[in-house]
Chain A
Amino acid sequence: MTYWITVVGYLAIIVGMVVTEIRARSNPFQIAPLEDMLDRVMATRTTRLGLIAAWWWFGWHFLFGPTL
């Protein structure tokens, strides 16, 4: 039971992300689409490298790192 509650939790968050992005793309002046928001957030080197590093680590973790 807790297994599926955990999985549904992940799925709910992912669905929320998708719905938010669809809404943003249909009305960008209400909610900025992800790409526009990232453009602004990544204006400083700290946030840019932080986001890029988080993306890289995601690949590193799943493709190379051991499952702990």
Chain B
Amino acid sequence: MTHSPMWSRRVVLWLGVLTIMAVFQLWRGAWVDGGIFVVLVAVLIIDRLTHGRIRILRRPINPPKWVIYAALGVLGTVLVFTPRAGTWDLVALVLIGVVVLVVAWVPTPKRRELPDEAHRRSSAWWTAFGVAFCVWEACAYIFSTRIPGLEDAFPTVSVLLDPVLSWTPSRAAFVALWLWGGVILLRIRSRR
């Protein structure tokens, strides 16, 4: 269990970011995407209100690495070689979502300690990049959908990646990078 203040600034800011994501997705008519973020915000608020006492598992899941990488191989194969946005993709993505939610519920050990100032600089830079990317993408979306005749003048990331994801080799590269990102975030590499 995490012994952090119930409503620390970091927690409130993150809930704010996720709420903005939910509102933006609902506003643009992506009901499923918006719904996912609404449910997530609700779960996290309930978790905070109950002081982090919600327990999904009695003990952390810690399978051998070969099991994790075999599962990633199977799921990656499904995501690359079955028809895009088909039933198998849906099954694989929901499965990944449920598993990462369970795995991420408990913390993983820290790697090393660096000076606070180094962390502050890093957080500032990455926050700036994240905000800049979201604002740029949101502006492209708004301009391309709200200004008549400029549908193709301001491409969103989705529009740019669409042809990439339609070609199997580049789709495989995208899936591999995405799964690798998840492995890093969940710190699976540092596990057994």
Contacts and interface: CB of A to CB of B under 8 A. Distances in A.
A32 B44 CA distance: 27
Interface residues of B, number: 77
Contacts, number: 183
Interface residues of A, number: 52
A46 B107 contact: no
Interface of B: 2, 4, 8, 10-11, 14-15, 17-18, 21, 28-30, 32-33, 36-37, 40, 43-44, 47-48, 52, 79, 84-85, 89-90, 93, 96-97, 100-101, 104-105, 107-108, 110-112, 114-115, 118-119, 121-123, 125-126, 129, 132-133, 136-137, 140, 145, 150, 152-155, 157-162, 165, 174-175, 178, 181-182, 184-187
Contacts of B104: 48-49, 52
Interface of A: 2-3, 6-7, 9-10, 13, 16-17, 20, 24, 28-68
Nearest to A59: B178
